[in-house]
């Protein structure tokens, strides 16, 4: 009995040993397969594992990547840069007034036509001559000039002995040109002079068109191949500096400006310094509109000029006059000329008045030539003044 029990125990132990051996072997054969799969998972985690892999192997443990993911380089500047405003190429100064002649003719021809009709009339009596004189005075030519023109015409018509329309027209043309001054030097000093730019100050009362004229003048000069710096010394009206910036940006001219209320003299000084530094040809300084009757403001204008002169001579002081204001424009001109030594007139809005005779009067009063005329609100509607084109537009 003891012998049978002993044999049974030996058989059970032997079975357990053999069974345990096979169980361990079987487990070992599964484990390496799993371990081999691991690197694949690591690789996958390096990038985003595709959704379908995760579905196929839901039991996969997503381990952190063996290496840190590559540090993302900052993106290179986008090839699509914000659009730079397109730089315009304005037309040159030559021929501008001829281009605008039709506009001039529209506003001035009634004067010319009226004069020609009177001069060609059969009965050129005392009343007719008086009417001619009145017509000239109404066009703001001034009494002195009107009287002179009538006296000269009377003599010459008598000598000529005819009143043929073409002859009379030729006489009137000569007289008007003599009053306007066809030989006068009207060149705007645009430099450069030695190693510094020409400096132009633009002055005048409110709303005459100073900022517009500064911007348009920059276009004229750029059109002629000059490099220009603009100075926004109208720090009184915030929009003026913005306006000038727009004019400058359109033709690629830098604009020196400061915050609203800044000292205009310091802006003007900095603009000239910038012009010197950049080797620019011309610096144009736009100043704030000021009533000629306000002493404080006129003194300030004098100061702007004096401060600029610490850096450079001021080569041109352009007084902007609104042609539609007639006699009042003349009063302004006198006061400005006393304070800042005006060297030239820019007569704006000549497209909006028949009183072009103001050119004669203002030149006579100030002894300063009209150098530029504004003939519209378009960017290229500013032209160097050409007396012959002007008179021809008047006479049709």
Distance, in Å, from the CA atom of 334 to the CA atom of 368, rounded to the nearest integer, reads: 11
210 part of the interface to ligand GTP, by CB under 6 A: yes
- Binding residue per annotation — 207? yes
The single residue among 63, 113, 206, 341 that binds ligand GTP, judged by CB under 6 A, is: 206
Strand 382-384 with 370-374, pairing = antiparallel
329 part of the interface to ligand GTP, by CB under 6 A: no
Is 235 within 8 Å of 364 (Cβ atoms)? no
Binders of ligand GTP among residues 144 to 163 (CB under 6 A) are: none
* CB within 8 Å of 273: residues ≥ 6 apart: 311
Helix ranges restricted to H, 183-237: 210-223
Distance, in Å, from the CA atom of 282 to the CA atom of 190, rounded to the nearest integer, reads: 6
Is 317 within 8 Å of 346 (Cβ atoms)? no
The single residue among 40, 127, 377, 388 that binds ligand GTP, judged by CB under 6 A, is: 377
CA within 13 Å, CB half, 128: 14
- Binding residue per annotation — 80? no
- Binding residue per annotation — 228? no
Stretch that binds ligand GTP, among 15-23, 134-142, 210-218, 271-279 (CB under 6 A): 210-218
- Binding residue per annotation — 288? yes
CA within 13 Å, CB half, 372: 32
289 part of the interface to ligand GTP, by CB under 6 A: yes
- How many residues comprise the chain? 396
Distance, in Å, from the CA atom of 258 to the CA atom of 266, rounded to the nearest integer, reads: 9
Q: Which is nearer to ligand GTP, 209 or 344 (CB)?
A: 209
The single residue among 234, 281, 316, 392 that binds ligand GTP, judged by CB under 6 A, is: 234
- Binding residue per annotation — 206? yes
Q: Which is nearer to ligand GTP, 236 or 269 (CB)?
A: 236
Strand partners, 320: 346
Binders of ligand GTP among residues 99 to 118 (CB under 6 A) are: none
- Binding residue per annotation — 378? no
The single residue among 192, 252, 302, 352 that binds ligand GTP, judged by CB under 6 A, is: 352
The single residue among 135, 190, 282, 348 that binds ligand GTP, judged by CB under 6 A, is: 348
375 part of the interface to ligand GTP, by CB under 6 A: yes
- Binding residue per annotation — 47? no
The single residue among 107, 148, 212, 241 that binds ligand GTP, judged by CB under 6 A, is: 212
- Binding residue per annotation — 289? yes
Q: Taking the complex as a whole, how short is the minimal distance between the CB of residue 304 and ligand GTP, in angstroms?
A: 14
CA 138 to each of CA 111, 229, 394: distance values in angstroms, whole numbers, following the listed order: 9, 40, 14
Distance, in Å, from the CA atom of 240 to the CA atom of 306, rounded to the nearest integer, reads: 22
Q: Which is nearer to ligand GTP, 46 or 352 (CB)?
A: 352
Distance, in Å, from the CA atom of 95 to the CA atom of 248, rounded to the nearest integer, reads: 23
Q: Taking the complex as a whole, how short is the minimal distance between the CB of residue 245 and ligand GTP, in angstroms?
A: 13
Is 229 within 8 Å of 244 (Cβ atoms)? no
User: CA nearest 310: which of 192, 231, 210, 199?
Assistant: 199
- Binding residue per annotation — 165? no
Stretch that binds ligand GTP, among 90-98, 133-141, 169-177, 200-208 (CB under 6 A): 200-208
Name the DSSP class of 193: B
240 part of the interface to ligand GTP, by CB under 6 A: yes
207 part of the interface to ligand GTP, by CB under 6 A: yes
208 part of the interface to ligand GTP, by CB under 6 A: yes
349 part of the interface to ligand GTP, by CB under 6 A: yes
User: CA nearest 41: which of 23, 24, 21, 65?
Assistant: 65
Residue nearest to ligand GTP (CB): 289
- How many residues belong to the site for ligand GTP (CB under 6 A)? 21
211 part of the interface to ligand GTP, by CB under 6 A: yes
Distance, in Å, from the CA atom of 282 to the CA atom of 191, rounded to the nearest integer, reads: 6
Q: Taking the complex as a whole, how short is the minimal distance between the CB of residue 287 and ligand GTP, in angstroms?
A: 9
C-alpha distance across the termini of the chain, in Å: 153
CB-CB neighbours of 67 under 10 Å: 8
- Which residues contact ligand GTP (rule: CB under 6 A)? 204, 206-212, 234, 237, 240, 289, 348-349, 351-352, 374-377, 381
Name the binding residues.
204-211, 286-290, 348-351
Name the binding residues for GTP.
204-211, 286-290, 348-351
């Amino acid at each position: 009995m003891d012998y049978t029990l002993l044999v049974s125990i030996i058989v059970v132990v032997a079975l357990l040993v053999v069974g345990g051996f096979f169980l361990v072997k079987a487990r070992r054969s599964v484990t390496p397969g799993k371990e081999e799969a691991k690197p694949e998972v690591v690789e996958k985690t390096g990038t985003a594992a595709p959704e379908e892999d995760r579905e196929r192997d839901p039991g996969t443990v997503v381990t952190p990547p063996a290496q840190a993911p590559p540090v993302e380089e900052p993106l290179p500047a986008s090839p699509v840069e914000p659009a730079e405003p397109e730089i315009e190429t304005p037309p040159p100064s030559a021929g501008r007034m001829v281009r605008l002649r039709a506009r001039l003719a529209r506003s001035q021809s009634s004067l010319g036509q009226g004069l020609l009709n009177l001069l060609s009339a059969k009965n050129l009596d005392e009343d007719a001559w008086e009417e001619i004189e009145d017509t000239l005075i109404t066009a703001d030519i001034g009494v002195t000039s009107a009287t002179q023109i009538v006296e000269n015409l009377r003599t010459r018509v008598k000598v000529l002995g005819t009143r043929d329309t073409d002859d009379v027209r030729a006489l009137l043309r000569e007289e008007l040109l003599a009053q306007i001054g066809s030989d006068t030097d009207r060149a705007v000093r645009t430099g450069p002079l030695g190693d510094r730019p020409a400096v132009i100050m633009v002055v005048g009362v409110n709303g005459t068109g100073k900022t517009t004229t500064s911007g348009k003048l920059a276009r004229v000069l750029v059109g002629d191949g000059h490099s220009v710096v603009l100075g926004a010394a109208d720090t009184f009206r915030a929009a003026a500096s913005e306006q000038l910036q727009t004019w400058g940006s359109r033709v690629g001219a830098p604009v020196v400006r400061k915050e609203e209320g800044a000292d205009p003299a310091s802006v003007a000084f900095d603009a000239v310094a910038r012009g010197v530094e950049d080797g620019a040809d011309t610096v144009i300084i736009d100043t704030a509109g000021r009533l000629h009757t306000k002493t404080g403001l006129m003194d300030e204008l004098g100061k702007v000029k004096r401060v600029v002169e610490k850096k450079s001579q001021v080569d041109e002081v352009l007084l902007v006059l609104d042609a539609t204001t007639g006699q009042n424009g003349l009063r302004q001109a006198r006061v400005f000329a006393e304070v800042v030594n005006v060297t030239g007139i820019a007569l704006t809005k000549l497209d909006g008045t028949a009183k072009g005779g103001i050119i004669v009067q203002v030149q006579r009063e100030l002894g300063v030539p009209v150098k530029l005329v504004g003939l519209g609100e378009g960017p290229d509607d500013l032209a160097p003044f050409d007396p012959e084109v002007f008179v021809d537009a008047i006479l049709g």
